[in-house]
Structure 1
Amino acid sequence: MKKSFYALLALAGLATNPALAQDAESLFQNKACAACHATDVQLVGPAFTDVAKEYSDQDDAVGILVDSIMNGSTGKWGQLPMPPNNVTEEEATALAEWVLEQG
């Protein structure tokens, strides 16, 4: 419940800052994401098309991805952990929404 609340707050921030939402691909390129991920092929981590397919039917997909982006995750896509990323909640939300659009 708390994560959903924070995700909604972040979405409200994107509504007031559409440039951030439109710039998610630049965030992907400029943050550590591109070191392990690509949009359509698996590198170290899963392809974003696969992530989008996996989470597209979940009600809190954005919140789930925001949590993984900000806090890291272990065991969701294999043995290698995803480390936490140095992003704001607004940036993580923009990235999560962009990833989900890749499916």
Structure 2
Amino acid sequence: MHYRTALPLLLAAAVVALPAQASEAIAKKARCIACHAVDKKMVGPAYREVAAKYRGDASAPARLADKVRQGGGGVWGQVPMMPHPADKIGDEDLKAVIAWVLALE
């Protein structure tokens, strides 16, 4: 493959990968990973389980943001999720993390 053809493809792949990496980094920084993992249930559900449950649900981003802010329980088991106010994870960061989670296959 010629470099002039390959370069745009590589740049496009990097642009797609960067938001995902950034959103995963935000989840780590906000300590979401203390209770969640991408591929396995921990205290809370795996992010892939969340993505599968809400796939195709247009209201999912808002509902999940409310769940993160308010906390709750009973959907994924007996252990309740603690509320996470904006000083723990800002609104834009929360939106980015939720978009990343919902995009997981």
Pairwise TM-score range, normalised by the shorter structure: 0.7 to 0.9
Partner of 1:44: 43
**Larger RCO (alpha carbons 8 Å, 6+ apart):** 1
Q: Which runs of 5+ in 1 are unaligned?
A: 1-18
Partner of 1:55: 54
For the 8 Å contact 1:37–1:47, the answer to whether it is kept is yes
2:97 maps to a residue whose letter is: L
Taking only the aligned residue pairs, the percentage that are identical comes to: 38
User: Which contiguous aligned blocks of 4+ residues in structure 1 show a shift greater than 3 angstroms?
Assistant: 19-22
Q: Which has the larger radius of gyration?
A: 2
- For structure 2, list consecutive stretches of 5 or more residues without a partner in the other structure: 1-17
Q: Equivalent residues in 2 for 1:1-103 (5 A)?
A: 23-85=22-84, 86-103=88-105
The alignment's TM-score, normalised by the length of structure 1, stands at: 0.74
Compute the TM-score of the two structures, normalised by the length of structure 2: 0.73
- Point out the more displaced range, 45-54 or 21-30: 21-30
For these two proteins, the number of residue pairs brought into alignment is 85
